[in-house]
């Protein structure tokens, strides 16, 4: 995945958050101006996570 640069500062954005399912970065921030991108929602991952918590709930 390509890392965007900040619209204001033109510097490369840093990794801020990772998807807890696929471990890909899904949010970036600019450490100069504090700008944060929208968190990308992976549809597949949110489905997987829902299934996982349902399975866990069933076991307990």
Residues that bind Zn ion (CB under 5 A): 6, 8-9, 19, 21-22, 30, 32-33, 35, 42, 45
Q: Which is nearer to Zn ion, 21 or 37 (CB)?
A: 21
DSSP state of 11: P
Q: Which is nearer to Zn ion, 22 or 54 (CB)?
A: 22
Helix (H) or strand (E) run with residue 53 in it? helix 43-59
Instruction: Provide the minimum distance between the beta carbon of 50 and Zn ion in the complex, in angstroms, as a whole number.
Output: 13
Enumerate residues 6+ apart whose C-beta is below 8 A from 51. Answer: none
The SS3 assignment for 5 reads strand
Instruction: Provide the minimum distance between the beta carbon of 21 and Zn ion in the complex, in angstroms, as a whole number.
Output: 5
């Amino acid at each position: 995945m390509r890392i965007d640069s900040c619209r204001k500062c033109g510097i490369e954005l840093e990794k801020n958050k990772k998807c807890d399912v696929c471990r890909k970065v899904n949010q970036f921030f600019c450490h100069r101006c504090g700008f944060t991108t929208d968190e990308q929602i992976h549809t597949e991952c949110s489905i997987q996570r829902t299934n996982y918590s349902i399975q866990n709930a069933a076991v307990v």
